[in-house]
Amino acid sequence: MPALLAGSANFIVDEDPAYEPVGDGEHLYLHLEKEGIATDALADALAKAFGKRPSDIGYAGRKDRHAIARQWFSVHFGDEARLANLPEHLRHGRVAVLRTGRHRNKIRLGHLAGNRFRLRLGGASDWEPVRAALARLAHEGIRNRFGTQRFGRNQATLRCARAWGAGDWRGAVAAIVDADDRWRFGDALPEGFRPGPEGRVLGYLRKKPEDARGALVATGDQMRKLVASAAQSAVFNAIADAREALSLTHRLRLGDLGLNAKGAPFLVEADRLDDTNLRAAPGSLQAFASAPLPGTSTLRPAPAIDAEERTWAEPTGIDWSWLDAKGPLESPGERRALVVPFRAPPQLIAEGDQAWLELSLPPGTYATEVLDQCGVTVPDDRRG
């Protein structure tokens, strides 16, 4: 069976920005190549190198630490000369500066046109099944599920979301401290350095070992947003799977919320139902069925479908009210398409029993999900 080869040199991702530096502005833009370091950890190192708060650092999306990844960061009122301080704040990994510039906007999550992947596969003598699967996805669209990376190692981020939402501060902190779910309050804290919000939790607990809620507050919004995203993603995947089981991935019903080709939502009404389903069909992909990322958005399908979606999501253990305004995991909500098209035709370049797969994907679409849907084995280290 074909498999993604292990090692960062076999997983290369290039971020396509939503916009380029314009030459002036209060935000320093940095195009960085990283390897062996998570995006959050690199953002934390940048904040320290520039003497800034974590909130002064912007980036459009998280990239796999087990990859060679090229992406943009922004630093509010960043002094380019302070880039020289970066190496002393990198505990591991490799970072290279490819380009700098300036812009008037902070880079925020989602501010990208897409990502290009170059993946090295091995273990096949016949690559035609993979080619056929890629052709099928080009016709039907990629199932737009969130990859398991979204939920953390051993689903620790999702466990944290469930505990945090329910007000179980100790359970939430325990999931942050130990992804293997063996550490409990009263145990010795793990030694060593951790970057980002995990490190701030540990640092706080070393001073106040019983104050779980304070440790969560010490992370600022960074950890709360991360666990809220995991909660939303679990809901989406559950509803997407339920719709697929009922052959509703490409079929919309009266009262569904669809998305047009530009991502704008619309309520499916009787006079548009047949036309909408023609545009949503495989081979067309000009309209899309959607599922929710619950949150503060008031955008809802018809009441019966809203109730159905909530029922489908119940096994996740996520209470949608946690994500509402004033909820413990308050987060903007939106609708996400169940399938997405490739941004450009995929290319498979075979070299004997190995091949390079080149993919151009929309923002938020997981290359590992494409591989799964093509029958390619993905190593465990790619799954969080």
Q: Give the CATH number of the domain where residue 51 resides.
A: 3.30.2350.20
Residue after which a domain boundary falls, among 220, 240, 262: 220
The predicted model gives 364-372 an average pLDDT of: 96
The reported pLDDT for the residue numbered 382 is 67
Average of per-residue pLDDT across 84-106: 95
Contacts of 14 (CB under 8 A, 6+ apart): 69, 70, 115, 116
pLDDT of amino acid 253: 97
Query: For position 380, what pLDDT does the model report?
Result: 77
> Domain boundary at 220, 237, 266, which?
220
pLDDT band of 92, cuts 50, 70, 90? confident
Q: Which residues does the annotation mark as catalytic?
A: 64
Q: Which residues contact 149 (CB under 8 A, 6 or more apart)?
A: 64, 366, 368, 382, 383, 384
Residues 266 and 199 in one domain: no
Asked whether the predicted pLDDT for residue 278 surpasses 80, the reply is yes
**Gap between the Cα atoms of 48 and 42, Å rounded:** 10
Is 42's pLDDT higher than 70? yes
pLDDT band at 193 (very low <50, low <70, confident <90, very high): confident
Residue 11 falls inside a structural domain: no
The residues, any chain, with a CB within 8 Å of residue 13's CB and separated by 6 or more, are: 63, 64, 67, 68, 69, 70, 71, 115, 116, 117, 118, 367
Q: Mean pLDDT of all residues in the chain?
A: 95
Residue 133 sits in which domain range?
116-141+342-382
Residues 166 and 78 in one domain: no
Check pLDDT > 90 for residue 275. Answer: yes
220, 244, 276 - which closes a domain: 220
pLDDT band per the 50, 70, 90 thresholds, residue 138: very high
Residue 147 falls inside a structural domain:
no
Amino acid 322: pLDDT:
98
By percentage, how much of the chain surpasses pLDDT 90? 88
Number of domains in the chain: 4
Instruction: Please give the helix or strand (H or E) that residue 279 lies within, else none.
Output: helix 273-280
d(CA 57, CA 86): 14
The pTM for the full model equals 0.93
Residue pair 62/52 in contact (Cβ under 8 Å)? The answer is no
| Amino acid at site 77 | F
Average pLDDT over residues 342-346: 97
SS3 of residue 229 by DSSP: helix
Q: Are residues 32 and 77 in the same domain?
A: yes
CA distance 288 to 299: 16
Mean pLDDT of 331-338: 96
